[in-house]
Amino acid sequence: MITHISHRYTDQEALEALLGDGKLLGIVSASSSILVQIFSADTSAGHLRAVAALVGARLPSATVVGATTVGEVYEGRLLTGSTVVGITCFESSTLSVMAMSCEDADARQVGAELGTRIGRCAGNIAGVILLATPLSIDAGALLQGIESTAGSIPIFGGGAGDYAAMAHSLVFAGDEQYSQGAVAVVLAGDDLHVESRTYLGWRPLSRSMQVTGVDRLLVKTVDGRPAFDVYRRYLNIPNDENFFLNALEFPFLVERSGELLARVPIAATGDGALKFIADIQEGEHFRIGYGDMDLIISDALHIHRSMADFSPQAIFLYTCGCRRFLMQNDVDLETLPFEDLAPTFGFYTYGEFFSSGKPSLLNSTMVAVGLREGASGVGSDQALALRSETETHGHDPYAHKHTRVVSRLMRFIDTVTAELEASNREITELSRTDRLTQLVNRIQLDHVLEENLQRALRYATPFSIILLDLDHFKQVNDVHGHLVGDEVLVNIGRILAACTRATDTVGRWGGEEFLIIVPNAGLNDAARLAEKLRGEIEAHEFPTVGKMSASFGVTNFVPNDDVVKMINRADITLYKAKHAGRNRVELSNA
């Protein structure tokens, strides 16, 4: 059985009274271990040390840890500007605490050492609470280090905050405090059960963009332009001391492994780079996101129900400060129902730690952790009554309706964005497609040629081109008319598309000329393909016209080539095939 008591710190006398309470001391004396978590808006080392020292003096067997915050969760509700103390008593489980500085060490190395220490802990590890200072260390690298030595273990927790000052945050264990460091508490026991869940609730708003330049936790360019331009252009956010407060509701939503990860910029540099506390990789695609409050509440209800099935005896919440900023007075809508299940305690973070196999540093999410000793249902002497919006807020038709307005605006923007992207895709497709043959057109062929040329110049990757011209095509138009001629061209396009690889680019060069770009192929490979195409065209029976043939010029990339040289060489070679009797393949001598 786990017993949890939350206390809102006002002064030392009140805390002393709680710690000296006979009922609490009775629970403590019957406990195998006691975890005390202190979460505080006050970032002064003296205040935190005084509170921790008092707890340590009155409960000498307790494990005392904590962090500075950007909001406190007390009995399921948001507090601000407070210090809260959570006392969690375990009947049979064990705790192991470890704290490390990152001031003079690489965060990944510190994580690896933490992981090694975690692996040495005795007992059946049910989970690890992790507190760290992501403002001053690479917390993502810390997690990678832990995973490298501890393997796949359940990790949950949060990054210490400082109420958006973005200057100074602390984590601590006992009287050890770190402005650059991490604290881990290992929860172990054969009878200890942990249920951890996370959810986001942010939807994409903008078009898809690509990260094109990264330096560690700095995103330097997006689509080849300074990354800050994204916020200036779309949201009119200035690059000043209030950038974080203005941007934190609008994270990058990064597409990674089929999931959306939120990444919140904490600052913009003078040269237009964006600083993050969590990793973004070069080449990744993202959209600007915004919180959908209907989705957040819906996801929260799902997590509440899942947690109810688990029957927790205590619940810890680690929830991003972005959610508090977004939801304002409505933020309790997602946190307060947890208190119906079990005593609920936690803090608002600068990034959340969560592991569902692979540990991750998240942004803009909530991580909910349920703890229980014993079988499901033990200690659950109160029937669950999940709060609906009506039950929580009465029947006031105007209460909290701005969430609905924002959600509908979100839906409107999302729909308009989707329609614009669909139109842009259609326009893009039309701009690079030959209307008659549906092959790529001259503009797109020029683009693909340049891409292959640059790749060949940089990496010495071979490629070849095939230029073909239909023999005596003018006679088809003169005898049968242009509609029949168009039908011939369409059939030629189908033959070429059917007989080439997916990696080849087949396009209409102009009139009755077609160009095929063959990547990763030398001259002989391209010649064999040209001969195959020549044979297929010769064997085909064209409606109305009957038999047709084509002449081919083939050339390959050579050092110091450019697009004009290659096309001229293919053109000269094609006309050699024409003068040599047509219906044949000629190779360039280059």
Give domain limits for the chain.
Answer: 2-200+294-375, 205-291, 390-431, 442-587
CA 10, CA 83: separation in Å to the nearest integer? 8
Calculate the average pLDDT of the chain. Answer: 90
Closest CA to 127 of 2, 28, 19: 2
Is the pLDDT at 45 greater than 50? The verdict is: yes
Residue 227 identity:
A
How confident is the model at residue 378, as a pLDDT?
44
Confidence of residue 167 (pLDDT cuts 50, 70, 90): confident
Is the pLDDT at 308 greater than 90? The verdict is: yes
pLDDT per position as a tens digit, 33-42: 999 999 999 9
Closest CA to 365 of 400, 332, 324: 324
Predicted model pTM: 0.70
CA 531, CA 537: separation in Å to the nearest integer? 10
Is the pLDDT at 219 greater than 90? The verdict is: yes
CA 90, CA 83: separation in Å to the nearest integer? 23
Closest CA to 365 of 180, 134, 157: 157
- The mean pLDDT of 453-482, rounded to a whole number, is 94
Element (H, E) at 575: helix 563-579
pLDDT per position as a tens digit, 360-414: 999 999 999 999 999 876 444 433 333 333 334 444 444 444 555 565 566 666 6
CATH 3.90.79.10 fits 442-587, yes or no: no
The token pair at 473 is 């095509």
How confident is the model at residue 110, as a pLDDT?
95
Closest CA to 193 of 318, 340, 91: 91
Extended strands (E) in 136-233: 155-159, 171-173, 176-178, 181-188, 192-199, 202-204, 209-215, 218-222, 225-226
Residue 206 identity:
S
- The mean pLDDT of 248-257, rounded to a whole number, is 89
How confident is the model at residue 22, as a pLDDT?
94
Element (H, E) at 452: helix 442-459
